[in-house]
Amino acid sequence: MSCKLGFIFRKKNSNILSKFDPMNFIVTLTLQAIKKIYGEEIPESTVTLQETRKEFDGQVTIVTFPFTRFSKKSPEQTGADIGEYLVANSVDIEAYNVIKGFLNISLTDVFWLDQLDKQILKKDVGVLRRNGRKVMVEYSSPNTNKPLHLGHVRNNLLGYAVAELLNAAGYDVVKTNLVNDRGIHICKSMLAWQKFGNGETPSSSGLKGDKLVGNYYVRFDQEYKKEIASLMEKGRSEEEAKREAPLMMEAQTMLRKWEAGDTDVIKLWEMMNEWVYDGFEKTYKKMGVNFDKIYYESNTYLLGKDIIEEGISKGVFFKKDDNSVWIDLTGEGLDEKLVLRGDGTSVYITQDLGTAQLKYNDYHMDNSIYVVGNEQDYHFKVLFLILKKLGKSWAEGLYHLSYGMVDLPSGKMKSREGTVVDADDLMADMIDTARNRTEELGKVEGFSGPEKEALYEMIGLGALKYFLLKVEPKKRLLFDPNESIDFQGHTGPFIQYTHARIKSVLTKGGYKAEIIKAKPAILENTERDLIKEIVKFDDMVASAAENYSPSLIANYVYELSKLYNKFYHEVSIIKVEDIQLKNFRLNLSAATAQVIARGMKLLGIDVPERM
RNA sequence: GCCUCGGUAGCUCAGUUGGAUAGAGCAACGGUUUUCUAAACCGUGGGUCAGGGGUUCGAAUCCCUUCCGGGGUACCA
């Protein structure tokens, strides 16, 4: 086990300023000890601290193997030497024991109680010092031809949580969404609606706008396939049929008209996009995500040509005979890459180059995070490399937060095969499940109607969000629609339940935030374990932000909840006679609740007062 | 082919400046409630950390290699 102490994750040269490292004095003292005893000066990084494993005495362990090189003694003796020194030179360290190359040290209960006071019983847990830096997080970035699905849900939750984390870690954060609202795929739904829609609108059909438009995208594909089939019957090859199908040719005509600014096409496009935006807005709202700035590709797709010129004049790009523009990245182990078509029109990377510049001009941010699936790893590698070659100083701050696809047991989600897990449906299902479970358990006596609904939503979405966020971003995620997401064990509802449980104890115990002076003489193990965990929180926030990894927070909050439940089970809180002890335990409970709530908030998950 | 990311218990996952006997949850089995919320707690069983080699006092973790899976390698986005 031995989960490492939070601060060990910290990278050097970090931009994130933690308020303090509660264990850092141990490292300092150890360095002193080594200098004194062995006359050796060693870098801080050679002192490894880890949490003491449960089966041994102590809370913090120093690994002493590396010191034997110059101590010229056995690991046991080396540990004992240092242990003696630590106990003698710190009032906070009361004992040590040595097992092989591991020096386990016990900190005093007074120390732990101080830590609790210092770090937790204040308003701003998990809020690190402002670092004066600005970061942009782009996420979601949907196409306007179909509704959001489970893959988008992962993207949205990740992007939102990372933005929250960076904000907590001291950055100024700008959340952006780059909407892909143009192109051939959009024309397909437009055309299908025009041909087969009979004027259907969201209000006439009662359909959510994005769903309605999505239906026509599917319809296009169906009709298109029919045309292909009949052309092939007439003896065309598959490729010819695909190219010559009237629908496809019409869609391409429509795209050209759109680019030419044809009034009717633009009107249709605007109308249908509005429908989609209305739909997306509802989904985003339910999901609890939002943006500070929305970019539309219809406004940015022509950008980037200036950069192409710049690149040519700087000799970074070169032109081929057909006028197409390329960059040679073979020196970097990549390929030659097209950056502008021969006819002068943009490709994906052209507009991304332009958009990157636009974003920078707009915000002058120090860092810019793109939350985009790992299928685009190569694209972003190339994009960033090009910007660096162009000498853009800000290119160093770009980062592709690549995450794994969400797969079904049957493999990839495919809209054509109807295996897509729709975001709205999924959220609604989760809320239903929460409703059923909660009512079965009889947990909502005394709740008003709206309170119940709010609770079901909180739990259902909590389960879903936690399920998606607890997994490390870059790993692919398996989702089985037939197996509902759990509400027990390592889940969002478990953590929410723990929070509600604490709130209930606090209420029944008459807890008031002021009574913080009470302290027991001796801590129970469960109490010390809990304090130890709570004290790590700020460092966990720093690490999670640094690694763009909400899963670190998700797993931390789970660990904390488990420890609380153990504590809750093993000791009485409001029923102890000793008023001091009772108050202390209430404080500890309140502190735990505060960290749970704050940690979950960073993940975009709300926690209830009762459940 | 080449590039890239994964492979840890039956299933889903933790474990990353290399450290002790690799941990949780689910599923299975057994126990805990006249006492602060049992969506909880405690216990049992379950592992060739994909295979092999190397570096090291020490490897799930670093290096090499093989196998398996995902993704990319478009004048699509």
Nearest nucleotide to the CA of A340, by C1', is B75
What's the rounded Cα separation, in Å, for the pair A424 and A433? Answer: 14
Residue A50, CB, strand B, below 7 Å: yes
Residue A14, CB, strand B, below 7 Å: no
Nearest nucleotide to the CA of A582, by C1', is B36
Q: What is the DSSP string of A36-65?
A: HHH-----GGG--EEEPPTTSS-SEEEE-G
How far does the CA of A45 sit from the C1' of B59, in Å?
19
Amino acid A501: pLDDT = 97
Quick one: which residue's CA is nearest to B22's C1'?
A: A1
User: Domain end: A107, A139, A170, which one?
Assistant: A107
Residue A41, CB, strand B, below 7 Å: no
Q: Which domain holds residue A268?
A: 183-274
Confirm whether A470 is domain-assigned: no
CB A149 within 8 A of CB A421: yes
Quick one: which residue's CA is nearest to B13's C1'?
A: A471
Amino acid A488: pLDDT = 94
Nearest nucleotide to the CA of A75, by C1', is B57
* Residues 438-477, chain A, CB closer than 7 Å to nucleic strand B: 438, 441, 443, 459, 470-472, 474-477
CB A83 within 8 A of CB A60: no
In sequence order, what are the beta bridge partners of A135?
Answer: A173, A367
Confirm whether A94 is domain-assigned: yes
Residue A405, CB, strand B, below 7 Å: yes
Work out how many domains chain A is built from and give that number.
2
In sequence order, what are the beta bridge partners of A337?
Answer: A327
Amino acid A247: pLDDT = 94
User: Domain end: A47, A75, A107, which one?
Assistant: A107
Nearest nucleotide to the CA of A67, by C1', is B57
Confirm whether A358 is domain-assigned: no
Distance of CA A546 to the CA centre of its chain: 12
How far does the CA of A498 sit from the C1' of B40, in Å?
9
How far does the CA of A1 sit from the C1' of B70, in Å?
29
| Cβ atoms within 10 Å, residue A430 | 24
How far does the CA of A88 sit from the C1' of B58, in Å?
30
Summarize pLDDT for A411-453 with one digit per residue, the tens.
788 776 778 899 999 999 999 999 999 999 999 988 999 999 9
Nearest nucleotide to the CA of A297, by C1', is B77
Residue A391, CB, strand B, below 7 Å: no
User: Domain end: A274, A292, A307, which one?
Assistant: A274
* Residues 104-143, chain A, CB closer than 7 Å to nucleic strand B: 104, 143
In sequence order, what are the beta bridge partners of A346?
Answer: A340
Confirm whether A215 is domain-assigned: yes
Query: Coil, strand or helix: which one is A171?
Result: coil
Residue A319, CB, strand B, below 7 Å: no
How far does the CA of A166 sit from the C1' of B25, in Å?
29
Same domain, A103 and A193: no
Amino acid A487: pLDDT = 95
Bases of chain B within 7 A of a CB of the protein: 3-7, 11-17, 19-27, 35-42, 57-58, 70-77
Confirm whether A34 is domain-assigned: yes
A342: left (phi over 0), alpha (psi -120 to 50) or beta: alpha
Residue A377, CB, strand B, below 7 Å: yes
Residue A346, CB, strand B, below 7 Å: yes
Residue A376, CB, strand B, below 7 Å: yes
Amino acid A2: pLDDT = 30
Nearest nucleotide to the CA of A437, by C1', is B39
Nearest nucleotide to the CA of A98, by C1', is B20
Confirm whether A42 is domain-assigned: yes
Question: ipTM score here?
Answer: 0.96
Token code pair at residue A367: 């860092």
CATH number at residue A62: 3.30.1360.70
Confirm whether A77 is domain-assigned: yes
How far does the CA of A333 sit from the C1' of B64, in Å?
20
* Residues 531-550, chain A, CB closer than 7 Å to nucleic strand B: none
Residue A219, CB, strand B, below 7 Å: no
What's the rounded Cα separation, in Å, for the pair A246 and A254? Answer: 12
Confirm whether A458 is domain-assigned: no
Residue A398, CB, strand B, below 7 Å: no
CB A583 within 8 A of CB A525: no
What Cα–Cα distance (Å) separates residue A265 from each residue in A212, A215, A251, A261?
18, 19, 11, 8
Residue A318, CB, strand B, below 7 Å: no
How far does the CA of A512 sit from the C1' of B34, in Å?
30
Helices assigned H by DSSP within A134-262: 150-168, 184-196, 202-205, 209-233, 238-244, 246-260
How far does the CA of A125 sit from the C1' of B49, in Å?
36
Tell me which residues of chain A have a pLDDT lower than 50. 1-13, 19
